[in-house]
């Protein structure tokens, strides 16, 4: 494993840990709200906090899921092919995925900029949306780095 690949894995693991921490925070908020709702009052804006945390958690977990090959793949046909053909298909699919997620990252960043400019906030907690949109954009960019590593590995298999 090269230095670039190792660095990508370490950064992806860090963000995956942040996602796990976010799940804990979300759980703690919901449980606290359930416990204190009757004797005191509900937590104001909890729906907004949980919704935005959910978006952050999902985006933070995407790169490490790609590192672990945790996404759904259909390999029934491809597994029957020779290893060079499998590597070629992996490289082609990696390049197509890379192009798609570069566009997603770019357009999400554009959306974040537009939302920041408009000053849009959540309904009850009045939280700004744009940092969460930028987070999705950055995590898609990190996914692109993971995909580049995968394409390089597939190309090395293909050249053997």
With cut-offs at 50, 70 and 90, classify the pLDDT of residue 45: confident
pLDDT digits (tens, 9 = 90+) for 67-118: 998 776 767 777 888 888 888 988 999 999 999 999 999 999 999 999 999 9
* Mean pLDDT over the full length of the chain: 91
Compute the distance between CA of residue 23 and CA of residue 88 in angstroms, rounded to an integer.
38
pLDDT, average across residues 33-53: 88
Q: Buried b / exposed e across 136-156, counting CB within 10 Å, b at 16+?
A: bbbbbbbbbbbbbbbbebbee
pLDDT, average across residues 2-19: 94
Assess whether pLDDT exceeds 80 at residue 17.
yes
CB proximity list for 149: less than 8 A, separation 6 or greater: 4, 5, 8
With cut-offs at 50, 70 and 90, classify the pLDDT of residue 24: very high
pLDDT above 70 as % of the chain: 98
Question: Considering only 14-18, 58-62, 70-74, which range has the smallest mean pLDDT?
Answer: 70-74
Amino acid 14: pLDDT: 97
DSSP state of 76: T
Amino acid 1: pLDDT: 67
pLDDT above 90 as % of the chain: 65
With cut-offs at 50, 70 and 90, classify the pLDDT of residue 41: confident
């Amino acid at each position: 494993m090269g230095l670039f690949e190792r660095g990508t894995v370490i950064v992806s693991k860090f963000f995956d840990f942040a996602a796990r921490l976010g799940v804990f925070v979300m759980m703690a908020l919901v449980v606290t709200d359930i416990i204190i709702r009757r004797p005191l009052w509900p937590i104001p804006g909890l729906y907004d906090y949980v919704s935005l945390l959910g978006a952050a958690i999902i985006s933070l977990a995407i790169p490490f899921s790609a590192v672990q090959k945790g996404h759904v793949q259909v390999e029934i046909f491809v597994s029957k092919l020779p290893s060079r053909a499998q590597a070629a298909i992996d490289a082609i699919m990696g390049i197509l995925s890379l192009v798609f997620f570069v566009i997603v990252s770019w357009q999400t960043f554009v959306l974040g900029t537009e939302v920041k400019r408009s000053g849009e906030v959540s309904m009850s907690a009045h939280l700004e949306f744009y940092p969460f949109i930028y987070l999705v954009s950055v995590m898609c960019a990190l996914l692109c780095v993971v995909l580049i590593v995968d394409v390089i590995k597939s190309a090395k298999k293909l050249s053997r």
